[in-house]
Amino acid sequence: MGAKAKEKPKLAMYWAASCGGCEISVLNIHEHILAVDEIFDIAFFPCIADFKTKDVESYPDGYIDVCLFNGAIRTSENEEMAHLLRKKSKVLVAYGSCAYEGCIPALSNLTTKEATFDKVYINNPSIDNPDGIFPQEVTKVPEGELTLPTFYNTVKSLDQVVDVDYYLPGCPPEPPQIWAVLQVVVGGLLEGKPLPPAGAIVGAGATAVCEECEREKKEKTIERFYRPYQIIPDPDQCLLEQGLMCMGLATRSGCGALCPTVGIGCRGCYGPPEGVIDQGAKMLSAVASVLDAGDETMEDEELELKIQEVIDTIPDPAGTFYRFSMAHSILRRVKNGKGDS
């Protein structure tokens, strides 16, 4: 793309098991995209530019200065690309929630490959598959042989298959954050400014989403949880205080509290805040601490029962508290005795 001046830093962007929203998020820096084109040479970017895996294979190791890798590791092909791009890139960024922590595709770790194939190809209201055919890694057709990559049982984050230098959270990352990170990277590459330490989370804040949410917060005392369609929430008050599940307490700031601003609870797409490893565990303890389940006169046992009653009004806690972070969590996947991949 653009004028090919020599010695510009090389940028790559790749998608594994993803939706394409990360690529769109880069396009959504709008007019700045022209500056990106000015500053970088694109070395690999299947979404918009003309390079092939073969080109990447031919590059010397470390040829790519910055690789923005998005998407989770769902198939053998995703993993092969992760290894290739790690080898060829100086700086590998886990870009977006899928690469960082598994995101929505990793909800698949609550089920199995067998159940997935059964639902998609057999037990489905519109299926026409009387012979019970499943896609195969190798198929003999009259004219020859056709192959497909392996569909793994467990979805992994990028850092579970290769070393990652930086993490850029969000589903997808917000454009102002993307542009800010690109400027830091450019400062490092072109002006010798210091880059963030390896393993850093970039393009996000260090506190929680609640810190940037303008809703009015009082003492939190929750008696029960409501589904979003069961009440019409007050437009200005904290959603969690009104009994609507909102993950703001357990989610890293950086998005500007977009979802709560339009009256919808946060689901945690920026991952856990600084210093927190397991987002779901953090949310569970946060919820437990704000429940209005009893008072100090109660016996421990009674109090626990009360707390459990309120917690029971939360539907699907695992799929909610780990909505975006399943692969990266302590939980990682629901055990099924089928091994890890």
Partner 1 sequence: MERITIDPITRLEGHGKIEIFLDKKGNVENAYLQIPELRGFEQFSIGRPAEEMPRITNRICGVCPEAHHMAATKALDALFDVEPSSVVKKLRELFYSSFYVTDHTVHFYALGGPDFVLGPDSDPAERNILGVIHKVGVDIGKQVIECRKRNHEVIKILGGRGIHPVAGLPGGWSKAMTKEEQKTILGWAKENVDFALFSLKLFDDVVLANQAYVDLIVGGIFSHETYYMGTVDDNNHVNFYDGLIRVTGPDGKELVKYPAKDYAKHIAERVEPWSYLKFPYLKDVGWNGFVDGKDSGVYCCTPLSRLNASDGMATPKAQEHYEKFFETLGSKKEGKRYTPVHHRLATHWARLVELLYAAERMLELTEDPEITDPNVRQVVTNTPTEGVGSVEAPRGTLTHHYKTDENGILTDVNLIVGTTNNNAPIAMSIKKAAENLIKDGKVTEGLLNTVEMAFRNYDPCMSCATHSLPGQMPLEIQIKDADGNLVDTRSQYVD
Cβ at position 219, least distance to partner 1 in Å: 25
Phi/psi of residue 248, nearest 5 degrees: -50, -40
For residue 133 the two structure tokens come to 């055919």
**By C-beta, is 49 or 195 nearer to partner 1?**
49
Cβ neighbours for 162, distance < 8 A, ≥ 6 positions apart: 82, 83, 86, 92
Interface with partner 1 in residues 38-57 (CB under 8 A): 46-55
Measured CA to CA, the distance from residue 288 to residue 328 in angstroms comes to 23
Cβ at position 140, least distance to partner 1 in Å: 9
Q: What single-letter DSSP state applies at residue 266?
A: -
Measured CA to CA, the distance from residue 73 to residue 83 in angstroms comes to 11
Does 9 bind partner 1 (CB under 8 A)? Our answer is no
Of the candidate residues 66, 73, 171, 250, the single one contacting partner 1 (CB under 8 A):
171
Question: What is the number of other CB atoms lying within 10 angstroms of the CB of residue 132?
Answer: 8
Inter-CA distances, 77 with 80, 84, 149, 244, Å: 5, 11, 6, 40
Cβ at position 326, least distance to partner 1 in Å: 10
Of the candidate residues 38, 62, 120, 288, the single one contacting partner 1 (CB under 8 A):
120
**By C-beta, is 138 or 297 nearer to partner 1?**
138
Of the candidate residues 9, 105, 169, 203, the single one contacting partner 1 (CB under 8 A):
105
Residue 336: half-sphere exposure toward Cβ, Cα within 13 Å: 16
Q: Which residues pair with 222 in a beta bridge?
A: 291
The count of residues interacting with partner 1 (CB under 8 A) is 86
Placement of tokens 């009440």 in the chain: 231
**By C-beta, is 27 or 198 nearer to partner 1?**
27
**By C-beta, is 175 or 294 nearer to partner 1?**
175
Interface with partner 1 in residues 12-41 (CB under 8 A): 15, 17-25, 27-28, 30-31, 33-34
Interface with partner 1 in residues 273-332 (CB under 8 A): 315-316, 319-320
**By C-beta, is 143 or 219 nearer to partner 1?**
143
